[in-house]
Amino acid sequence: MEKHLEALKDAVARPLWHDPEIMPESLASLSSDQKCDLLIVGGGFTGLWAAMQAKERRPDADIILIEQTFVGDGASGRCGGFISTTLTQGETNTAHRFADEAGRLEQLGIQNLRELLETVDHYHIDARYEKTGEMFVALDPDSAKRLQKEYQQALAEGEDVVWFDKDSVREQVNSPIIHAGLWERDGQDGVIDPARLCWGLKDVLVNQLGVRIFEGTKLLDLKPVGNESMQAFCEGGVISSDKVLLATNAFTSLIGEIRRSVIPVWDYQIATEPLSDEQLDRIAWGKTSRHALADYVNMFHYFRLTKDNRITWGGGGAVRYYFNNGIDKKYMDAPACYEQLAKELFEMFPQLDDVKFTNKWGGIIATSTRFCMVPGTAYDGRIAWSVGYTGHGVGASRFGARIGIEMLGYAPTDILDMQFVRQKALPWAPEPFRWFGVRFTQNALIKADRNGGKRGLWLKFLDRLGLGFTC
């Protein structure tokens, strides 16, 4: 059996973060009709942070949060745990779409992450945060040149960045395929354990702030009651609420505008067993540095160390869009994706040929046509949503939650006047064009990556339409 298949043989199909030892008990499902001021649908970061910030702004608000399975079962409890200030999937996307608001968005992103970490601290949530910055590594000489230009530009803009050439980068992360590295170490960017954060927030909301959370409770339908309030028809009962926040991200929505602006893209990850000291010595990483890493390509891998020195490894070409917005949990069973990831990890670190994988899992990324969050409202502002964070939602979802509750009247501020909030996202094409389009674009991105980043005709065409994806 090939080495990567052997190493993957006993991996459990469960997110590393969903450790049964620390998973909290499920909360009861809804079993009778209820009333509240604010109903939040979705127990991921957006929903949890919305409840937290709504309570900060209106401590007496009666809030219910419902989650169809369990808190942290969506992208939030399955992600890579890279946490950053970006609200827009990076500076290139900001410059492309919100150039006039770039400075404000940067400041809001910094403020958002600072406040997020302060809250985590305040409530003593053990989210296993590590301030690592983020390091991009170039995998070929052309990419190294492009990355070096980014370094020069960042230096000129006064950012705290460090450049590693081929030799010095291997003292940080010893891989034979890395040609250079750019470490962005300013600010508070780092990594967390995402499920611990979800469950820590859940605990605070229920036990300290009086938010009622019903797990195993799916929203089935929404109906207005006159001009005043909404009724949410759920498994187990009807909830009457003045306002409703939909924090359902990539999951199928009752609202057509959400269904058109976001598609679910599956992203897969694997995790190794904890590395021994001697294994860490072989790769330097974990000894001389603990960078949170991504390779500098369009279809990038993201990889990091956990507190107990496992490597989690995800992304790359192992992302899939399944026809007609497929979100069924059967797509967790994706052997080809896991095998590809395992093979690629051994290409990055051939010295780790004795390491085994313990976990493999997938989750759905809500991808919007603007590659960052999409806020919106319906029913005269009685319903709001914030969805579509694409690959950067761990930090940004708290800001999305803020926009959501402000749109529902919870101490609104002038952020609601920003283009970032007001501008509508373009709709995705209907099927079957959607499936072909995503497939074709993914292949074009892979081709560009193999070609030192040179974008072909299709990608240039998308760029001109404002639909081009860049990392």
Ligand X SMILES: Cc1cc2nc3c(=O)[nH]c(=O)nc-3n(C[C@H](O)[C@H](O)[C@H](O)COP(=O)(O)OP(=O)(O)OC[C@H]3O[C@@H](n4cnc5c(N)ncnc54)[C@H](O)[C@@H]3O)c2cc1C
Report if residue 303 touches ligand X, rule: CB under 6 A. Answer: no
User: How far apart are the C-alpha atoms of 139 and 106, rounded to whole Å?
Assistant: 29
CA atoms of 342 and 349, how far apart (whole Å): 11
Identified binder of ligand X from the candidate list 34, 94, 119, 249, rule CB under 6 A: 249
Q: Which helix (H) or strand (E) holds 294?
A: strand 293-295
| Residue (258 or 275) nearer to ligand X, CB | 258
Q: Which stretch binds ligand X (CB under 6 A): 77-85, 320-328, 341-349, 445-453?
A: 77-85
Binding to ligand X, residues 308-327 (CB under 6 A): 314
Around Cβ 255, how many Cβ atoms within 10 Å?
A: 18
How many Å from the N-terminal Cα to the C-terminal Cα in the chain?
35
Out of 68, 89, 279, 442, which residue is the one contacting ligand X (CB under 6 A)?
Answer: 68
* Least spacing, CB of residue 446 vs ligand X, in Å: 19
d(CA 392, CA 302): 12
By CB under 6 A, the count of residues binding ligand X is 40
Q: If residue 44 lies in a helix (H) or strand (E), which one and from where to where? A: none
* Pick from 316, 391, 398: nearest CA to 89: 391
Give the interface segment with ligand X, choosing from 64-72, 100-108, 140-148, 157-165 (CB under 6 A): 64-72
Applying the rule CB under 6 A, the residues between 352 and 381 that interact with ligand X are 363-365
Whether the link from the prior residue into 194 is cis, omega within 30° of 0, is no
Find where tokens 């601290």 sit: 121
Binding to ligand X, residues 83-122 (CB under 6 A): none
Of 52-60, 66-74, 90-98, 350-358, the segment contacting ligand X by CB under 6 A is 66-74
Member of 75, 138, 180, 311 binding ligand X (CB under 6 A): 75
Which residue lies nearer to ligand X by CB, 279 or 369? 369
Residue 4 or 398 having the CB closest to ligand X? 398
- Binders of ligand X among residues 198 to 237 (CB under 6 A) are 218-219
CB of residue 205 to ligand X, shortest distance in Å: 14
Among 7, 8, 43, 128, binds ligand X (CB under 6 A): 43
Closest by Cα among 342, 446, 364 to 6: 342
- The residue whose Cβ lies closest to ligand X is 393
Q: Are strands 357-368 and 262-272 parallel, antiparallel or unpaired?
A: antiparallel
Provide the minimum distance between the beta carbon of 76 and ligand X in the complex, in angstroms, as a whole number: 3
Q: Which of residues 426-465 bind ligand X (CB under 6 A)?
A: none
Which one among 4, 39, 47, 303 touches ligand X, defined by CB under 6 A?
47
Assess 27 for contact with ligand X (CB under 6 A): no
Cβ closest to ligand X, residue 269 vs residue 289: 269
Strand 237-246 relative to strand 229-234: parallel, antiparallel, unpaired? antiparallel
**Which range in 72-80, 136-144, 168-176, 414-422 contacts ligand X by CB under 6 A?**
72-80
Query: What pairs with residue 237 in β-bridges?
Result: 234
Site for ligand X (CB under 6 A): which residue of 164, 251, 296, 338? 251
Token pair recorded at residue 142: 């052309």
Selected binder of ligand X within 38, 65, 79, 204 (CB under 6 A): 79
366 closest CA partner among 339, 334, 384, 393: 393
Smaller CB distance to ligand X: residue 47 or 181?
47
Element (H, E) at 158: none
Q: How far apart are CA 97 and CA 252, in angstroms?
A: 26
> Using CB under 6 A, which of the segments 99-107, 142-150, 246-254, 274-282 binds ligand X?
246-254
- Whether 240 contacts 225, CB under 8 Å: yes
Q: Are residues 21 and 45 in contact, defined by beta-carbon separation less than 8 angstroms?
A: no
Name which position in 7, 17, 34, 44 contacts ligand X (CB under 6 A): 44
Single out the residue of 370, 419, 414 nearest to residue 392, CA to CA. 370
Nearer to ligand X, 144 or 389 (CB): 389
Beta strands across the sheet bearing 161-164: 161-164, 180-184, 134-138, 293-295, 301-305, 311-320, 262-272, 357-368
Least Å distance, CB 153 to ligand X, is 23
Range 260-279, binding ligand X (CB under 6 A): 267, 269
Which of 24, 452 has the CB closer to ligand X?
24
Residues 6 or more apart in contact with residue 329 via CB below 8 angstroms = none
Residues 6+ apart with CB under 8 A from 234: 30, 66, 214, 217, 218, 219, 220
Answer for the pair 467, 426: CB distance below 8 angstroms, yes or no.
Answer: yes
Contacting range for ligand X; rule: CB under 6 A; set: 1-9, 37-45, 408-416, 446-454:
37-45
Region at 371 (left for phi over 0; alpha for psi -120 to 50; beta for the rest)? left
The residues in 119-148 that bind ligand X, with binding defined as CB under 6 A, are: none
Footprint of ligand X (CB under 6 A)? 41-47, 66-69, 73-76, 78-82, 218-219, 247-251, 267, 269, 302, 314, 363-365, 389, 391-394, 397
